[in-house]
Chain A
Amino acid sequence: MIFLTRKAEFSSAHYYWNDSWSPEENLRVFGRCANRNGHGHNYSLEVTVSGNVDPTSGFVVDLKELKDILEREVVSVYDHRHLNLEVPEFKATVPTTENIAIAIWQRLDNKIPHAKLHRVRVYEMPDLFADYYGER
C-alpha cells in the first residue's frame, strides 16, 4: 500500500463566534479571533489517500483527477470567500482549523476513486495545523 499526498491552497476570511454566548464570553474565549469584521489566512491543505498501485498505470490515484476533485469540492468553495458568511457548513459551526479539517473530510469522503481517504491536514499558518482521520 502507498500513501499519496496532494496539496492545495486557499485564502479565506473568518471569525470565531458562538451565537449562544454573550459578546463578552465570545471575546473572553476567542480573543482577537472574535472580531466580527473578520480576518483571514492563507490556508494550506494536504490530503493523504492510501491505496494499491495499479499495475498498468503505476498510479494509486490519477493526480490530475485528485487535483480536480480538490478544486471542485474545496478550493472553489472556500477560496477568496468568507467562511462564516458564504460556506454552508460554517453557518452554525465555528470555522476553527479543526472544524475546517473535519468539513473537508466530509466533502471528500467517498469522492476519490480507487483510493481511501487517510488524512486531511489543514494549515492555518505554518506553525498551526489540524489533522482529521475520520474518527468519531
Chain B
Amino acid sequence: MKAHLSRRYHFSASHRLHTEAYDPARNVAVFGKCNNPHGHGHNYTVQVTLSGQVDPATGMVCNLAELDAFARTNLLDRFDHANLNTLDCFANKVSTTENLSIEIYRIFQNFPAAHLERVHVEETSNNSFDYAGETTTAPGLI
C-alpha cells in the first residue's frame, strides 16, 4: 500500500535579499528591511514529504535513518549556520524562501529510496512556502 511520510528538519541561516539587476534604491524599495547589507537570519523548518509502497518486511516507505543521513549531508551540513548568499545555488539568485524551496526540492529529488512529493519550508512561523515541482497543488491536497 502506498503511504506518505513527512519529516521535518531545522536549520538556522542568514541571508540578504538583493539583486544586481536593480540599483540600490530599487533594492531597498522592493526588499525593504530584508535588503540590509549586513544580512539577517531565520530559524528555518523544512518539511519533506515522500511517498512509496510500504515495504511489507520493514513497514516503511523508506528507512528513516537513511533519510536523516541524506538530509544531514545534503541539507543541514550545507545550510545550517551558513550565509545563504555565499552558497553556489544563490550565486545568481535571490535567496528568497521561494528559491530556497525549489533548491531543497532539487536536493531531495536525489534521495533514491522514495518518491519526493513536496517540500514545505517555513521561514518564520508566519511565512511558509510549498514546492512540488511545476505541477504544485495546494497544500494538503495531495
The CA-CA distance from A16 to B55 in the complex, in Å, is: 13
Tell me if B54 and A98 are in contact (CB < 8 A): yes
Asked if A136 and B1 sit within 8 Å, CB to CB, the answer is yes
B64 touches A135 (CB 8 A): no
Contact across chains for B60 and A132 when beta carbons are under 8 A apart: no
A residues 86-117 in Cβ contact with B at 8 Å: 93-99, 101-102
Contact size range, B: 20 to 34
Given the known interface contacts A128-B7, A132-B1, the answer about A96 and B142 at a Cβ–Cβ threshold of 8 Å is no
Binding site for B on A (CB under 8 A): 3, 16, 18, 20-21, 29-31, 93-99, 101-102, 126-133, 135-136
Q: List 6 contacting pairs A-B, 8 Å CB cutoff, sorted by A.
A: A98-B5, A98-B60, A99-B59, A129-B6, A131-B5, A133-B142
16 additional A-B residue pairs with CB within 8 Å, beyond A102-B1, A102-B54, A126-B8: A3-B140, A20-B57, A29-B63, A30-B58, A31-B65, A93-B59, A94-B60, A95-B59, A98-B3, A98-B5, A99-B54, A101-B3, A128-B7, A129-B6, A132-B3, A136-B1
